[in-house]
Structure 1
C-alpha cells in the first residue's frame, strides 16, 4: 500500500541501516531551545525509550517524529526517506497520546476504524483489521462499547489498537501508562513488551519513569536540556553511567568527590574529603593522577556488618566506619543511611530475604560499610 508522501510497504531496511535516523535536529520555541542538535539512530524492531525530566525536550522530539512539529534544523530519515516536512497522516508513523485521545461518541470498533477509513481501506479490509486488533489487545466482546463504558486499562488498549491498526513502521508512545495505577501499569508494561515482540514493530516510548524505561526498552536515551546525555542498554546505563548527571538521575546512587592520589593497571586510589581513601576500579578512559573525579556506588553494592569483613574478603579494601542514622523498610528491601565517621553519609540497600519482624540494623547502631573496588564507578564529568 502507498500513501501520499511515503511508501508504507517498502522492502525491509538493511540490518546495517537504522530504520530511524535523526541528524542534528534542532527545535526552538522563541528564545528557548527545546531540542539542541540531537542525533540518534534507532534500529528496526527495537523498543527504544526516551527518558528524562520534565522539560528536557523528549516530547518535543517525539512530536517531530510524528510530524506535529517541524525541525528548525537537521533531518529525520525514516527508512532512508527524509520525512521532516511530510505531513503526519502521510507518514508510516502513528502516535499514542498520554490522554489516549479517544473519540467519546464513537464505539471501540469505530475508534479503531477511524484511521483506516481515512487511509481509504475497503470495508472488508477494515472489518478484518478491526477483528485482528481486538484480538491482539484482548478486547473481544467490547467492540460496541463507548470509551466511558471502559476501565482505564481498557481505554489504553483501545488507543493502542487504534495506533497499530494502520500497521505503522514506527509507533510513538507518549507517557502511555501514566494514568494507570501501579499494578495495572506493571501488567501493561509486560503486555507492551510481548506485543512489540510479536509484531516486530519499532516502538519509541517517552517516559519520565525510570523503572518503566528499564523494564520495557532494549535501549534508553537519557535526555537533559534538549540533548542526549547517554544512549545505552538498561544494564549498561545503570552500571556504567557516562556522567555524574546520568548516575544521579537513573536510580539511587552515592556520590563521593575526591582526587586520584595514585594508580596502577588494576586500581585507582581516590582521596576523598569526607570518606577517607577509596580503592576503585579504573575507568575505561585513562585519567591523570591528581585529577578531580567523582566515585559512584549504588546502594545495593554496599554491605553492612557490625564488625566488618574479614581481611581476605572481597571488598575489604574499602571499609568505612559509621552509625546508622535512618532506616526505611520498603518490603523487598530495607534502606539504611549510614553517617560515616569521616563525615559523609552513605545509603545501603539490603534485601529482606528472611521473614523477620525487626530490621537487621537499628538507628544509632555502629556499623561497618564495605564494598569492592569493582563496585565503584569513576566519573570524570
Structure 2
C-alpha cells in the first residue's frame, strides 16, 4: 500500500515538474554580467516570452538554452536532465534565428530536410516529415523554390518548418518576426499561436516588442540588466506591475510620485507634489505612513469630460481640472495630453466608438480628468 502511494506521489510530482528549469544561471563576458543569477521554470506546452530592452540578457539566455553559450554558474534542466554542458545538436531543442539562416542555394524542401538527414532519418521518413511540415506552415506549392524566390513571410515559415521538423521538446525563437511589416507580423503572430496550440510544443520567444509578447505568450518574463524583474501572465503584468520599472516598460503609464498620508483597509491617501492628494486602492505589499511611493495610472483608465462626473457617481473619485495641451488621433483611439491645474501632465486614451470627423476635445480646451482609486497601482520607490 505504501509503495503504491509512493509511486503515485512520484508520478504526480513528475507530471507537475516544469519542462525547463533554469537555476541561478550566470553568464559573464569579460567584466560584463549578461545574465545575473537568473532562475525560472517553464511548463510543458507553454508559450513563454522573454521581454526586455536591448542588452538586458534575453538573447544570451536563449543561446544558453540552445547550447551556443555555456553558463559560468547554475544549471539548465530540461525534462529533469542538466543540459548546460550538452552540445547543441544533442539537445531536444531547436532554435529559429532572427535572420532565418536559410541555406540560399537549397530549395525549401532541401532546407527542411537538412537537419532530418543529419539526424539519420530514413529517406521515407524524411519525405513524410517534409510533407507534414510544408502542410503545417501552408507552403505545399513552394517546395522547389529557393529562399530568394520567396517573400519575407514565406522565408519565415520555411525557417519555422525547419526548426520544427525534428520535433524538439523546446523551440526557441529569437526575434522571429522583426523583419516583417506590421500587418504581416500581426497575421504571423496569430499563426504562431495556432501552430503552438496544435503541436503542444513548448515555445520560448525573445522579443523587445511588448505588443508581440502580450499577444502570443501565456506568460512573460520581463528582463533588465540580466535579471528577471517580473514573471506573469500578460494581464497581470499590465494591470499589476511589480515595480515602477515594469510599469513604465510595459505599455504607456502615468506616474505620480508622492508620500503615504493615511491608510485604512480599503483606501490609501497619497499626497503628491503636482497632482494634489489622491485616493488609491491599497497595494498588495504593506506600506508605512510617510513612505515614498509612486502611483501608476494607465491612460485608458483616465476619463475626460467637460464638467466631470455627476455628483452621485463621484464619491471617492479622483478628479482634476486641466487643459488639453496636445492630442493624437490613432484611428480606434485618440490620445490626449492634459496639463493639470495642479502642475502634473497626464495622458488619457479614449476609444473612438462613434464615426465622427472631429475629436471629443481640442487643444486649449478646459477639461476634467477623473479616475477611480481602483484604477491606481501603488508602487514602492
TM-score interval w.r.t. the shorter chain? over 0.9
**Aligned counterparts of 1:311 and 1:288: Cα–Cα separation in 2:** 32
Which runs of structure 2 are paired with 1:1-381 in the superposition (5 Å)?
A: 14-313=14-313, 317-381=317-381
**Aligned counterparts of 1:39 and 1:194: Cα–Cα separation in 2:** 29
SS in 1 for 2:231: strand
CA pair 314-68 structure 1, distance change in 2 beyond 3 A: farther
Normalization by structure 1: what TM-score?
0.96
Which deviates further from its counterpart, 239-248 or 281-290? Answer: 281-290
Normalization by structure 2: what TM-score?
0.96
Deviation, structure 1 residue 316: 5.1
Q: Is the 8 A contact 2:279 2:316 kept in 1?
A: no
**Aligned counterparts of 1:50 and 1:271: Cα–Cα separation in 2:** 36
* Deviation by residue 1:123-169 (Cα, 9 ceiling, x = unmatched): 11000000000000000011110000000000000000000000000
Q: What is the alpha-carbon root mean square deviation over aligned residues?
A: 1.2
**Aligned counterparts of 1:14 and 1:126: Cα–Cα separation in 2:** 33
SS in 2 for 1:177: coil
* Deviation by residue 1:197-236 (Cα, 9 ceiling, x = unmatched): 0000000000000000000000000000000000000000
Q: Is the 8 A contact 1:315 1:373 kept in 2?
A: no
Which structure is higher in helix share? 2
* Deviation by residue 1:164-183 (Cα, 9 ceiling, x = unmatched): 00000000000000000000
Q: Which runs of 4+ in 1 moved over 6 A?
A: none
Q: Is the 8 A contact 1:315 1:371 kept in 2?
A: no
* Deviation by residue 1:9-61 (Cα, 9 ceiling, x = unmatched): xx999331000000000000000010000000000000000000000000000
CA pair 312-108 structure 1, distance change in 2 beyond 3 A: same
Deviation, structure 1 residue 92: 0.1
SS in 2 for 1:14: helix
Q: Figure out how many residues of one structure are paired with residues of the other and give that number.
A: 371
Deviation, structure 1 residue 97: 0.1
